[in-house]
Each structure stands twice: as structure tokens, then as C-alpha cells.
Amino acid sequence: MTEVEVSPEVAEYTEVHRHPEPKGFWSKYIFSVDHKVIGIQYLLLAVVAVFVGMALSLLVRLRLICPECSYPTLGTLFPVGAPEGVMTPEFYLAMLTMHGTVMVFMVLTTAPQGGFGNYFLPIQIGAADMAFPRLNMLSFWTTFVSFMLLMAAFVVEGGAPQTGWTGYPPLSAVPEATVPGIGQDLWLASIAVFCIASLLAALNFIVTILDLRAKGLTMMRLPLTCWTWFITAILGLLAFGVLLAAGVLLLMDRNVGTSFFVPGGLIVSDKQIDHSGGSPILWQHLFWFFGHPEVYIAILPGMGVTSHVLSTFARKTVFGYRAMVYAVIAIGLLGFVVWGHHMFVSGMSPYSAFVFSVLTMCIGVPSAIKTFNWIGTMWGGKIRFTSPMLYSIGFVSLFVSGGISGIFLGQPTIDLYFHDTYFVVAHFHLIMGVAAIFGMFAGLTFWFPKMFGRMMDERLSKIHFWLTFVGVYAIFGPMHYLGMLPHPRRYAEITGVDFLMEGGAAQLHLFITVAAVLTVLAQFLFLYNFVKGIYAGKVCTDPNPWEATTLEWAISSPPPHDNFGGKVPHVYRGAYDFSLGGAKRDFAMQCNDDRAVYGEPSAASGD
Amino acid sequence: MGFLIAIVVWAVTLAMAVPFVTQTWWMPESITTLGDEIDETFMWTLAGTGVIFLVAQFALGYTVWLFGRKSAGPASDSHGNNKLEILWTTAAAVIFVGLTFVGYSVWAETRFIEQKSMEPAEGRLIVEVTGQQFVWNMRYAGEDSQFGPTDINLIDDAAGNPVGLDRSGPGGSDDIMVPEMYVPVNREVEVVLKSKDVLHNFFVPELRIKLDTVPGLVGKLRFTPNKEGRFEIVCSELCGLGHYKMRSFLHVVTEQEYEDWLAEQASYLF
């Protein structure tokens, strides 16, 4: 921590400060109320989760290329799921379900918002902490409990649930229809707890951004990262409540004999099931009312980071800042009225399809604006190819590739063919999975010097970028072709389907699996770089190594406990004042007034 | 570096796009005129989005290359270009939203089916398909064109009555239960979709259409196959551990072959 100049006001402020710097290990690193520590906790949780999720995806990939192969270690770990090391179809489904759940909830939802948002939102708006620091701590630890509940599903009798990350009833509601056990209950409990944590976090973010902005920091001067965290929080607030309710209802259907989602007259394995009057489609409505906004919860922060990083390293202001803000708001709003496009072939009334389809297509419009403006931001710039810049350029490319297939799936007519095929798998992995993860790579490499006061190895980051960028295209590109065949999702093997065997699915699967193994290996390079960077990276004493403009770069690295030493910074300009005509340098920080930017050299402040 | 990025972005773009042009991995041939129309909608979408995909990726690579050169001038102070922004936005809106209208009549034709009547219209063949873990049960009304009543308490897989058909009820005596579907070529078929246990999905790639079978609900699909052959019916909604092997066949045969098959099945009844 750096010394903070102590003035009388600061001394007074510190006295009434809500949480003075903690001294003990527990209050400092474990049950901390400091948004920066909590942000890093979220990030570490996501790092653990992402490696779990990747391991699961590798098991899925391995079974697809060789259903009968034996992996002795696996047999030792999971004697029931993989007897003698050979994965059963049930085990395959369990791995698939857990892969999706871990990745969507514990990685894509935690890292971009809980991790980077927690750490940098208060600093970027000039606040000392989040509005409710204790609530913030509670959010993280509730999320942690949720993660533990989910992991527990691996070790209980019957193993992890096998109903996909969407958990459609009756399969998920009737224990007789799948392998019995409490795996599915733990899964539901985990999701419910996660929803509670996310609701608390969402409230905190919204209040923080509305109430704690520095003097002069109007909404239209906010960094685009803050805008995306803001809209993401609103989406979270409205979406997670619905999933929470749905999860509790499904738990009740499983355990206390209610029938919200289970109709009467079910016959499973020749036995009547004692339920009546529920609707399986109701679950789908509730789930996707959450599920679709969830896509934007995962990707919006990545969009924010990309806008931020592209502008910084193109040395040029964001192209059409207002249009970017309106586009994010439009995506957020539209995200709530398109859930039905996941249900075109669910048996829901076919008459509603047109509305959902038109609204879905409308999301293409703000998305097109964003893409155009990202390219426009770089156009006429002077690009510096740092590793965060590479990841952000990768983000734009992946966003386009993943978004474009949505135009097919958003049309009910074409969805009749592609629904629940690998075409969908390719689509959402590109956009919600890897594009969002490229946003995280960009954020991590960009903010690393601020968080740890050290640099990651740029050369290793760049090698990782190239391997991963080509790798993810090699994995998810060919999945579109599998979708053309059309390869249905969630098939434990393809040997029983003639059109897959004759259509070349086995060869495509082999190619994808090889690409997946190589891409996963490349992630260990990043992990090594990350861990080494924390302990042995090049020390970065310059508070602003990237010559960026926003407030986090005006304070030391890592930032002191209360961020701005008890002062409230004053903001004089928008977030992306690069290459101003007549300015002394090619960037003007938000806390620099015009005199500092254009005038006498002695008046420079903030750096 | 900028040039390298441009080359790699363009290379992966082409690698993604080329198989869609050469049609290396492609849909099986459609066997209905409705399927042909769906293919047409698909091709329009492929063309429209293909252009946007190529233009956007090319522009990305080109921009990175052009403004990443060491010789590039100082960055400009431009904040945007409203005219270009509006032009691009309008174009995107027209293409994206326009596409919805292109294919919508096909959707209406497939799915806007009057939900009440089980009475066959003139010449229309009705087949009831009931999904269960992990088989498809096909039921034909038999000679009297009337489906017999079912009773949940009569369901007995082992005794060969998977849907609980009451043979003594009106129209029930001649119902035919089979594991595979036979239909005559060029005749309209209505598939009535039901499920006994969990969600399944009735999907024949050559028909280009699928629909979930939902316990408690009745779903309907209509199609008129115009080519003979044997086509796979697969399950396209996760239904449990045997999901991947829940398969049957749709046999499209001549009218004569169909009549013969039907007579043969009926002969097993008595």
C-alpha cells in the first residue's frame, strides 16, 4: 500500500469511515468487506470453476470420440459412473450437465461482474467502496456456498444430475425417470442459493453506480465498462428472482409432492407416477425468462471491457459513445422479451413465434451498432498491440461469428431444423462462452498491473492469445457443420444413427476433440503466467502503464485500502479523451482539468 | 502484428465459410415441398448473413492492419459519424427483421394447425406417435379410421400395450400398434405427438421439422412426402440415459405397398 498524504480533512474522513483498514488475516483476506479483496475472491472462484468446467468438457469430448475407451484413473475416481474406466452414457450426461452449470453460473456470471465489476466499478466512479460493503461480502460467501453445493453433487450417491444445464422437467422432476439420488436436489439448491447471492450483488451494483459517482462524473461520462456493469446488474435483479422461484418450485415438486411442472398420468418404466396437473412448459418459460437475459449478463461486461480496451490502445475516443450506451440499454431491454425463441419447438402456442422472432431479430440491430463502432473506434487510430488489445480484437471477431448464427436460429422456420443440434451448441459457445471469456482475458491482462502492482509476461500472453484464438475457432467452427448433418445435442454416442455415421460426424468429432485438448493445454500457459505474474512479475511502479484515462489509473498499484485516500476525486471530462488536438499528451485523464491537459506543465495532476 | 492479425482473422473466416459454399457437410435431401421452402429460407439467410459475416470480419482485419502499421499517422480526434451509423443501422435492421418475414409463411403452414379435430380430412392419414424412454410407439386407426379409446390403467409394456389401448372400446379393435412408421408417398400425413413420461422430440431431418412431445399435451405436425425411401426418426430433446439411441424409421412407400403393409399388420390382430 502506498502512503496517502494526510490532510486534516482526510484524518476526519478516516475517523468516520465505515470500515477502517483491517489488520488481522481473517478480516483482511477471508471475510473482507473491501470490494477489491472481494473482487479477487470472485476471480479466484471463477478460475477454479473454469478449470473444473474445462476438465468436464474434456471428458465429454473424450467419450464422443471413443465411447468404449477405458481411462483407469477415471475408474478409480468414479467407480459407478465409469466402471473400469469406461464412461457410461449416464456419466456422460452428468459431465455435460455439470460442465454447462459450472461454466454458466460459476464462471460467466461471477468473473465479469463479481470479479472485475466489484474491483473496478467503485474505483472507476471515484468511490471508496461499494455502497453496501457488508452485503458485498455476503454476496461472495453465498456464491461460495452455492459452488460447494454444486460440487457436492459429484460425490453423493447417484452422482451429479443428468438433465442438462436447462434441467427440463419431467426428467428433472421425477426421480424415477433418471438415476435416483439427491444430485438434482443439490443442483437446484445450488442454483437457488446462487440466485440469492446474485440478487444481493445486483442491488449493490445499482445503488453504487447511482449514488456514489464522483463530482462531475455524469452518466454520460461513465466509462463503458461501468455502463455494462450497471445494465448487467439490472438484468440480474430482474432475472435471478424468477429463476429462484422456479428452482424452489421444482425442488418442491421433487420432494414435497407438489405438481407445478409435472402433469398427471405419467408412466415411467411401466409405473404410474403420483403427480397431477402441472405443466412442463411452465418451467421452460420461467427458466428462459432468466436464461436469455443470462446470456447478456455473461457478455455485456465483456463488451464494456472491449470498448474500453479498444479505445485505449487505438489512442482514440470511442466511436459513437452515446450510440454505444443506447445499444447496451437496447440489448438489455430486448433481452427480456425474446425468451420464447428458445421454445419454438417446445409445444408452446405457434402463434407467439412471430413476436419472439421479430424481437429477436431486433437484437441484431444494437449488436450491429456495437460491431460497427468497435471497428470505427480503431479506424483512424494508432494501434498499440498489447495483449489486452489482442484479446479485444479477438472478442470482436468471435462476437461477429457467434452472433451471425443467431440470425438463423431466431427464425422459427429454420429453427425447426436446427433446434437442439450442434449448430446451437456452436452458436452459444462462440458468443456466450468464448467471446465472453476473451473479454475476461482482456480485462485480466489490462487490469493486472493495477490489481497486483506487477506485469504479466506480455510475450506469454500473446502466445496464449494466438493458440486460444485459433483453437476456439477450430473447436466451434466445425460444430456448425455437425449441426448441418443435423447432429442432435446431448448424444452420448453417434454409432446408432446412420446419417451421422455416413455424414462424417465421427471425423468432425475427432478433429474437435484434438483441437479442444490443445486449447485446454494452452490455458495452463495462461494460468502459469497469471500465478507467476502475481509473485514474480516485473514490478510496475508506474500507476498508469497503459497511458489510459479512467480514474483507476490515477491511483497507485495496487490501490490503497480506501482507493482515493479519503478524498473524492473530481471528474472534468468523458472517459475516452485520447489524441485531443492541442493537448500535451495523447491522452487526458478524467481527473485532469483543461489546464492540466492543455496549459502550464506545472499544473498537471493525477499522474 | 496488425497484418498477422488480419491474415489470421481472414483465414479463420474463410475456413468457417468455405464448407457452407462447397456444402461438404450438408442437410440430407428434403422430401417435402415444405422442406424445400425451408431450405430456400435457409439459403436466403445464409446469403444475407454470409455477406455481413464476410464484410465485418474483413473490415476488422483491414482496420487492424491499416491502423496498426508503424507508418500510420497520429490518431484522429474523431468522435463518430452519425450518417454512417444511421446508414449501417438501418441496413442491418432491414436485413435482420426482413428475414423474419421471408420464412414466416412456411412456419404458419407447418404449425398453424387446427388443434381440436382428430377426424381425418379427405385423404389425410393420421398417425399417433407416443414417445417413451427410449422408444417410439406408432398407432394407426385401422380400417375404421377411428382411434380407439385409451386408459392409463391398461398401459402394460410387457403385454404389448404401451399406450393403454382399450380394444373393447369403440373403434379400438382394429387399431394397429407398430414400432416404425409407414406412409404412402404424396399423401398428406398428420402426426399426432404424445409422450408417456418425459419430453422427447420427434425429428426427421429429411422433413426439416421437429416438435417436442410433451406429456399432458397433444402436438401436431403435417407433411406430404414426395419421395420414397427409409428415413431415420431421432429424438431431439434430452430424455435420459438412452436419449442417443431412441430411434425409429419413417418408410415412405407407394400407395400399393402401404395398403399391403397395412393389411399385413391388420392380419396379425385377429
pTM above 0.90, yes or no: yes
> Which helix (H) or strand (E) is A406 found in, with range?
helix A406-409
pLDDT given at position A219: 97
pLDDT given at position B122: 72
Residue with cell 415441398: B33
- Tens-digit pLDDT profile for residues A119-139: 999 999 999 999 999 999 999
pLDDT given at position B145: 87
How is B79-125 classified by DSSP, letter by letter? Answer: ---HHHHHHHHHHHHHHHHHHHHHHHHHHHHHH---SS--S--TT-E
Q: Quick one: B106 and B170 in the same domain?
A: no
Torsion region of A266: left, alpha or beta (phi above 0 gives left; psi -120 to 50 gives alpha): beta
- How far CA A328 is from CA of A291, A575, B81, in Å, comes to 18, 17, 19
Whether B161 has its CB under 8 Å from any CB of chain A: the answer is no
Q: Which residues 186-245 of A are in CB contact (within 8 Å) with B?
A: none
Number of domains present in the structure of chain B: 2
Structural domain span for residue B19 = 2-69+84-111
H-only helix segments in chain B: 2-22, 33-66, 82-111, 255-267
pLDDT for A4 beyond 70: no
Q: What is the CA radius of gyration of chain B?
A: 26
Using CA coordinates, name the residue in chain A closest to B20: A481
Distance from CA of A129 to the nearest CA of B (A): 32
Give the three-class secondary structure for A591. Answer: coil
What is the percent of chain A with per-residue pLDDT over 90, rounded to a whole number? 90
Q: Quick one: B44 and B139 in the same domain?
A: no
Q: Quick one: B129 and B263 in the same domain?
A: yes
pLDDT given at position B116: 45
Cα angle A31-A447-A439, degrees, rounded to a multiple of 5: 100
Return d(Cα A226, Cα B232) in angstroms, integer. 51
Residue with cell 427440463: A168
Q: Quick one: B138 and B100 in the same domain?
A: no
Burial bucket for residue A93 (CB in 10 Å: 0-12, 13-18, 19+): buried
- Does residue B76 lie in a domain region? no
Instruction: Give A605's pLDDT tier (boundaries 50, 70, 90).
Output: very low
Distance from CA of A117 to the nearest CA of B (A): 26
pLDDT given at position A12: 52
Instruction: Compute the average pLDDT of residues B202-225.
Output: 95
Q: Quick one: B140 and B248 in the same domain?
A: yes
Distance from CA of B184 to the nearest CA of A (A): 22
pLDDT given at position A2: 39
Cα angle A594-A586-A301, degrees, rounded to a multiple of 5: 95
Q: Which residues of chain B neighbour A508 with C-beta distances below 8 Å? A: 25
pLDDT given at position A606: 47
Whether B31 has its CB under 8 Å from any CB of chain A: the answer is no
Q: Quick one: B106 and B142 in the same domain?
A: no
- Does residue B33 lie in a domain region? yes
pLDDT given at position B102: 80
Q: What is the pLDDT of chain A when averaged over all its residues? A: 94
Instruction: Give A105's pLDDT tier (boundaries 50, 70, 90).
Output: very high
Instruction: Give A51's pLDDT tier (boundaries 50, 70, 90).
Output: very high
Instruction: Compute the average pLDDT of residues A537-554.
Output: 96
Go through chain A and tell me how many residues it has: 607
> Which helix (H) or strand (E) is B183 found in, with range?
strand B181-184
A127, A563 contact by CB (below 8 A): yes
User: With the C-alpha atoms ordered A145, A149, A154, A157, is the resulting torsion angle positive or negative?
Assistant: positive
| Residue at B136: amino acid letter | W
Contact B152 A272 (CB under 8 A): yes
Contact B196 A267 (CB under 8 A): yes
ipTM of predicted complex: 0.96
Q: Quick one: B91 and B57 in the same domain?
A: yes
pLDDT for A13 beyond 70: no
Distance from CA of A332 to the nearest CA of B (A): 17
Of B74-83, B177-186, B227-236, the poorest mean pLDDT is in: B74-83
Instruction: Compute the average pLDDT of residues B227-252.
Output: 97
Q: Quick one: B101 and B133 in the same domain?
A: no
- Does residue B135 lie in a domain region? yes
Contact B156 A270 (CB under 8 A): yes
pLDDT given at position B230: 97
pLDDT for A544 beyond 50: yes
Mutation pick from B69, B71, B79, B133 vs chain A, by most beta carbons of A within 10 Å, is B79
The residues facing A522 across adjacent strands are: none
Q: Which residues of chain A neighbour B84 with C-beta distances below 8 Å? A: 372, 376
Interface A-B: count of C-beta contacts within 8 A: 321
Mutation pick from A282, A316, A413, A418 vs chain B, by most beta carbons of B within 10 Å, is A413
Contact A358 B97 (CB under 8 A): yes
Instruction: Compute the average pLDDT of residues A102-115.
Output: 97
Instruction: Give A505's pLDDT tier (boundaries 50, 70, 90).
Output: very high
Q: Quick one: B251 and B139 in the same domain?
A: yes
pLDDT for A545 beyond 50: yes
Q: Quick one: B10 and B36 in the same domain?
A: yes
Contact A492 B219 (CB under 8 A): no
Return d(Cα B234, Cα A487) in angstroms, integer. 10
Contact A362 B97 (CB under 8 A): yes
- Tens-digit pLDDT profile for residues A407-456: 999 999 999 999 999 999 999 999 999 999 999 999 999 999 999 999 99
pLDDT given at position A502: 94
Q: What is the pLDDT of chain B when averaged over all its residues? A: 92
Instruction: Give A1's pLDDT tier (boundaries 50, 70, 90).
Output: very low
Buried b / exposed e over A466-504, threshold 16 CB at 10 Å, is ebbbbbbbbbbbbbbbbbbbbbbbbbbbbebbebbeebe
Q: Quick one: B185 and B256 in the same domain?
A: yes
- Which cell numbers in the block locate residue B262? 397395412
pLDDT for A94 beyond 90: yes
- Which cell numbers in the block locate residue A147? 459452488
Instruction: Compute the average pLDDT of residues A51-76.
Output: 96
pLDDT given at position B99: 84
Of A48-62, B79-93, B171-185, B200-214, the poorest mean pLDDT is in: B79-93
pLDDT: is A582 or A318 the higher one? A318
pLDDT given at position A14: 47
Residue A249's nearest CA partner among A289, A288, A286, A198 is: A286
Q: Which residues of chain B neighbour A390 with C-beta distances below 8 Å? A: 5
- Which cell numbers in the block locate residue A153? 453433487
pLDDT given at position B72: 84
Instruction: Give A540's pLDDT tier (boundaries 50, 70, 90).
Output: very high
Contact B235 A315 (CB under 8 A): no
pLDDT for A517 beyond 60: yes
Burial bucket for residue A139 (CB in 10 Å: 0-12, 13-18, 19+): buried
- Tens-digit pLDDT profile for residues B17-48: 999 999 999 999 999 999 999 999 999 999 99
- Does residue B79 lie in a domain region? no
Neighbouring residues of A593: CB distance < 8 A, sequence distance ≥ 6: A570, A572, A605
pLDDT for A587 beyond 60: yes
- Does residue B120 lie in a domain region? no
Whether B87 has its CB under 8 Å from any CB of chain A: the answer is no
- Which cell numbers in the block locate residue B149? 379409446
Of A97-101, B112-116, B168-172, the poorest mean pLDDT is in: B112-116
pLDDT given at position B103: 78
H-only helix segments in A66-117: 72-77, 89-101
Q: Quick one: B93 and B172 in the same domain?
A: no
What is the percent of chain A with per-residue pLDDT over 70, rounded to a whole number? 96
- Tens-digit pLDDT profile for residues A562-581: 999 888 899 999 999 999 98
- Does residue B42 lie in a domain region? yes
Q: Is the preceding omega at residue A133 within 30 degrees of 0, hence cis?
A: no
- Does residue B77 lie in a domain region? no
pLDDT for A91 beyond 70: yes
